[in-house]
Amino acid sequence: MDRTDSRAARRYLALWFPFLPIDRLRIARPDLWAAQGDAPAVVVENVRGAMRLATLDADALAAGLTAGMTLADARAREPELRVFEADPHGDQDWLERLCDGCARYTPNAALDSGHGLMLDISGCAHLWDGEAELAQAATDRLERHGMRVRHAIAASPEAAHALARFPAAPAPDEDAAVRRLPVEALELEAESAVALRRAGLRTVGDLAARPAAALAARFGEEAVDALHALLGLSHRPLAPRRPRPAIRVERRFAEPMGSSAHAVKVVAEMAAEAGEQLAERGQGGRRFEAVFFRSDGLAFPIRVETSLPIRDAPAIMRLFQERIDSLSDPLDPGFGFDMLRLTVPRADPMAPTQLALEGGEARKSEGVEALVDRLSIRAGRARIQRLEPRDSHIPE
């Protein structure tokens, strides 16, 4: 099979979220977003003791602000600037959820660098009447949920990645579009990109016209490898995200259970069973949900989250009991509960812990994590804050 046939055999859809941290805040924290007005917004991160702009919204870009600028310089230009601190873990979790949602388009959806997703849509496009229709359906759904997204389709992941981030001028075909990309699309070190431009090499096509050996001798093997990947001569294998199914434990009853207290005891037994499954996976739960199904068709979901992964049933039940006690309307069994379900929607890796002689995990004194979990249930996780030491030259 020649290179052209090989490239035509596979098709990739790249989805890029240029404003992901800001879009996530606007969607997940509308109260915090609205509280700061409608001025330009930026997300900042600490870089070597200085607060620098990491992500900017369209208004901030229009005001002349750029990524990497210090917060002090940005405020000098835009005094009313809205500032939010970067949350890489929150962004990663959000991106993983977006990736899981793309399973409706292809079973091969993977995380891509720089707040992006890569979908292998080979053999899937006909289900949507074509590649363009599939891409339109994916972007429309994301935009309805408030995410701003750019996309591109190509024969290799690298080409799709670059075309989504560096829109090129209209071209007769994909190969021509790739060759018109700027050298920055190679994503080399900044010094290498500057050196390429100084040498008069401004586009991918300029590099492709030069002998590979000469490019490697002057700019390094990395430049040649990146060029070959963009041109489809080589590409990295895609690593599709394969989320494990969430742990779920159910209890069904021939006769409805009329006591809420008894139902909570059954949930405790289910929590112990879920803890055993988590231990087999080497994980601990970060989010638990217990659903009480009444015989009249009503369902009462109760959710708790934890600061650190846990799988100890008593610790899980203390959080559930705290949540149940804080309900404005007591847990009413009505004519009785005929089914109970406990799920673990989110689980993280958890190191093995010391076992107690009488069975189960050895009890540890409750630390600040347990306090944070209880306070989060009572007041809401968004209200819990902590002080963090930071290197700064500002005396106050």
Position 84, amino acid: F
Reading the chain (396 residues) residue by residue, the pLDDT tens digits are 344 444 457 899 999 999 999 999 999 888 878 877 788 999 999 988 889 999 999 899 999 999 999 999 999 999 989 999 999 988 998 999 899 889 899 999 999 998 999 999 998 988 999 999 999 999 999 999 999 999 999 999 999 999 999 976 677 888 889 999 998 988 888 888 888 888 888 988 888 888 889 888 888 888 889 899 888 888 778 888 877 788 999 999 999 999 999 999 999 999 999 999 999 988 999 999 999 999 998 999 999 988 888 999 999 999 999 888 888 788 889 899 999 999 999 888 887 665 555 555 555 545 666 666 566 655 566 666 666 666 666 655
Give the per-residue pLDDT at 1.
37
Could you give all domains of the chain from N- to C-terminal order, each with its CATH number?
3-17+91-230 (3.30.70), 247-383 (3.30.1490.100)
Q: Are 344 and 244 in contact, with CB atoms under 8 Å apart?
A: no
Give how far the C-alpha of residue 10 lies from the chain's centroid of Cα atoms, to the nearest Å: 26
Long-range contacts of 384-388 (CB under 8 A, 24+ apart): none
303 bridge partner residues: 289
Count the residues in the chain.
396
Give how far the C-alpha of residue 185 lies from the chain's centroid of Cα atoms, to the nearest Å: 23
SS3 306: strand
Q: Are strands 116-120 and 82-85 parallel, antiparallel or unpaired?
A: unpaired
Cα–Cα distance between 358 and 40 in angstroms, integer? 59
The answer, as to whether pTM is greater than 0.85, is no
Give the per-residue pLDDT at 199.
87
